A and B are shown apart, each in its own frame.
Chain A
Amino acid sequence: GENVEQHPSTLSVQEGDSAVIKCTYSDSASNYFPWYKQELGKRPQLIIDIRSNVGEKKDQRIAVTLNKTAKHFSLHITETQPEDSAVYFCAPRGDYKLSFGAGTTVTVRA
């Protein structure tokens, strides 16, 4: 099965700074790479995803970059705001099964 690792496990940033979370995976058949955000006490929600034929995707302040050769992809958040404080999960996928990473807790300090 897929072995998924996220780094770091916790991240504290000053408001306005950038945050980067890295996700490594083991299954070379993975071809879909989503990131989910879970605010405290809420359900996880998809925030951005990328397919394997694309190296980078951007949506306003968030972006995802993919390195298929090295089997990792990263979430980038620029100009962080308090509402970005949450747990972020990567979930690389090659078939029906989504194996989620352990999560990264991001805290944005005012």
Chain B
Amino acid sequence: GAGVSQSPSNKVTEKGKDVELRCDPISGHTALYWYRQSLGQGLEFLIYFQGNSAPDKSGLPSDRFSAERTGGSVSTLTIQRTQQEDSAVYLCASSSGGVTGELFFGEGSRLTVL
């Protein structure tokens, strides 16, 4: 596609359930990022992929969070046993790589944990 695509755009789940968020980056982009944005807040770094490898997972809030990327393309962010504090917009971004590569963001997945 022309841009970064994320799904679902909205997800409402019950506390304790697992959720999967998907990101389709721009074709050919080697770098992929996940950020979390709570209401009215800034962008919290979660994880970075270069190809299929994640050299930096330091931003993942807890061991309930995991992410993978396959084929150097699609990435999935999984949150297990969701808690109310996980409610936020999860943004995915991709870039062509390199320090000066512009980040192209998806529209985000809004997660609400009841």
Contacts and interface: CB of A to CB of B under 8 A. Distances in A.
B31 A44 contact: no
A93 B99 contact: yes
Contacts of B25: none
A: interface residue count bin: 20 to 34
A99 B105 CA distance: 15
A102 B103 contact: no
B102 interface: yes
Contact of B99 (A31, A46, A102): A31
Interface of B: 31, 33, 35, 41-43, 45, 48, 50, 55-56, 91, 99-100, 102-103, 105-108
A101 B42 contact: yes
A103 B42 CA distance: 6
A73 interface: no
Interface string A98-109: 111111000000
A44 B102 contact: no
Given A31-B99, A44-B103, 4 more contacts: A34-B102, A96-B99, A103-B41, A103-B42
Interface of A: 31-32, 34, 36, 42-46, 49, 51, 89, 91, 93-103
Nearest to A94: B99
Contact of A43 (B48, B55, B107): B107
B99 A45 contact: no
A96 B24 CA distance: 19
30 contacts: A31-B99, A32-B99, A34-B102, A36-B103, A42-B107, A43-B91, A43-B105, A43-B108, A44-B103, A44-B105, A46-B102, A49-B100, A93-B99, A93-B100, A94-B99, A96-B31, A96-B50, A96-B55, A96-B56, A97-B45, A97-B48, A98-B33, A98-B103, A100-B35, A100-B42, A100-B43, A101-B42, A102-B41, A103-B41, A103-B43
